[in-house]
């Protein structure tokens, strides 16, 4: 698994509304393969079933199933503003799609707008994932990049402080730009992290703003433990 960059195209968003949610991105892990009828597969199926039931009520679920060497660990996280029913749909889509894309890999991770799902054969819970990450950005440039970049960093840093001071490890908010224009932001961590690791994770990806989204109207750094998104239009359900 490694870092990657992809574009956020208006076209992709259009397709998404027509055909239903499609994944933003996924990685299959190189931590090993299993074969058909391997005990790992039944453990994984059980784990994904548990995550499907556990995640929607609170927006987060995690756990492990089985015994070494067939033990599997996983988590699912829905975006902080997503309702239980949409969360359930997203976790279900994510499980199906990642098994389709990574049929014999012991690990995989997949992201949607509404959720993240991850599993692997090693205990990753409670640790910051620095490996799985991708960038998205709007192709459009802002007219005053220096000011805009500052404002973006300011908003996301404020949100990172807020998020890591709440049990939900999630925060969304906005900032006045100029003349009735606003900047909208969201940050979130997986809830297996401590509040201090959540802050550390967010602080790290906010530091990647210049590489990801310098002077862009919108952008995201999306990782396995934390992510942020900012746009010049509202995208969070109040
Ligand atoms: C796992 O399977 C893929 C193809 O599906 C193969 O390229 C890879 O070498 C395999 N890895 C191991 C560790 O066997
Ligand atoms: C944005 O700026 C970059 C770098 O200056 C340029 O290459 C790109 O074409 C611009 N994009 C648009 C949509 O104007």
How high is the mean pLDDT of the chain?
Answer: 92
Q: If we measure between CA atoms, which residue out of 137, 170, 198 comes closest to residue 4?
A: 137
Domains of the chain, residue spans: 9-133, 135-231
Per-residue model confidence as pLDDT tens digits over 42-81: 999 999 999 999 999 999 999 999 999 999 999 999 999 9
Q: How many angstroms separate the alpha carbon of residue 141 from the centre of ligand 2?
A: 6
Question: What pLDDT score was predicted for residue 177?
Answer: 92
Q: From 3.40.50.300, 1.10.10.10, 3.90.1150.10, 3.30.430.20, which CATH number describes the 135-231 domain?
A: 3.30.430.20
Give the pLDDT band of residue 7 (cuts 50, 70, 90): very low
pLDDT at position 16 over 50: no
Per-residue model confidence as pLDDT tens digits over 211-234: 999 999 999 999 999 999 999 999
Atom of ligand 2 nearest to the CA of 139: 13
Q: From 3.30.430.20, 3.20.20.450, 3.40.50.150, 3.40.50.300, which CATH number describes the 9-133 domain?
A: 3.30.430.20
Question: What pLDDT score was predicted for residue 121?
Answer: 97
Q: For ligand 1, is residue 101 a contact (CB within 6 Å)?
A: no
Question: What pLDDT score was predicted for residue 159?
Answer: 98
DSSP for 149-189, written as a single string: HHHHHHHHHHHHHHHTTSTT-EEEEEEE-STT-EEEEEEEE
Q: How many angstroms separate the alpha carbon of residue 159 from the centre of ligand 2?
A: 28
**Pocket mutation for ligand 1, best pick of 1, 31, 33 (most atoms within 8 Å of C-beta):** 33
Question: What pLDDT score was predicted for residue 20?
Answer: 58
Q: If we measure between CA atoms, which residue out of 158, 142, 139 comes closest to residue 206?
A: 158
Question: What pLDDT score was predicted for residue 13?
Answer: 42
In CATH terms, are 9-133 and 135-231 the same topology?
yes
pLDDT at position 117 over 90: yes
Average of per-residue pLDDT across 156-160: 98
**Pocket mutation for ligand 2, best pick of 8, 137, 141 (most atoms within 8 Å of C-beta):** 141
């Amino acid at each position: 698994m490694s870092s990657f960059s992809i574009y956020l195209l208006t076209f992709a968003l259009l397709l998404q509304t027509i055909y239903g949610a499609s994944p933003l991105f996924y990685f299959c892990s190189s931590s090993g393969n299993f074969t058909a009828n391997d005990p790992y597969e039944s453990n994984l199926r059980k784990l994904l079933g548990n995550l499907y039931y556990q995640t929607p009520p609170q927006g987060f679920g995690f756990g492990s199933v089985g015994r070494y060497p067939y033990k599997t660990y996983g988590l699912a996280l829905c975006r902080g503003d997503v309702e239980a029913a949409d969360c359930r749909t997203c976790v279900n889509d994510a499980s199906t799609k990642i098994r389709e894309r990574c049929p014999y890999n012991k690990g995989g991770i997949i992201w949607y707008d509404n959720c993240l799902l991850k599993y692997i054969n090693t205990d990753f819970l409670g640790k910051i994932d620095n490996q799985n990450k991708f960038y998205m950005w709007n192709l459009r440039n802002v007219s005053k990049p220096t000011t805009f970049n500052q404002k973006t960093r300011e908003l996301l840093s404020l949100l990172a402080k807020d998020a890591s001071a709440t049990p939900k490890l999630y925060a969304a908010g906005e900032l006045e730009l100029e003349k009735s224009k606003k900047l909208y932001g969201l940050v979130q961590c997986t809830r297996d992290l401590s509040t201090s690791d959540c802050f550390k994770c967010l602080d790290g990806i906010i530091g990647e703003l210049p590489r990801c989204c310098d002077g862009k109207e919108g952008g995201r750094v999306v990782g396995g433990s934390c992510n942020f998104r900012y746009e010049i239009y509202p995208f969070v359900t109040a």
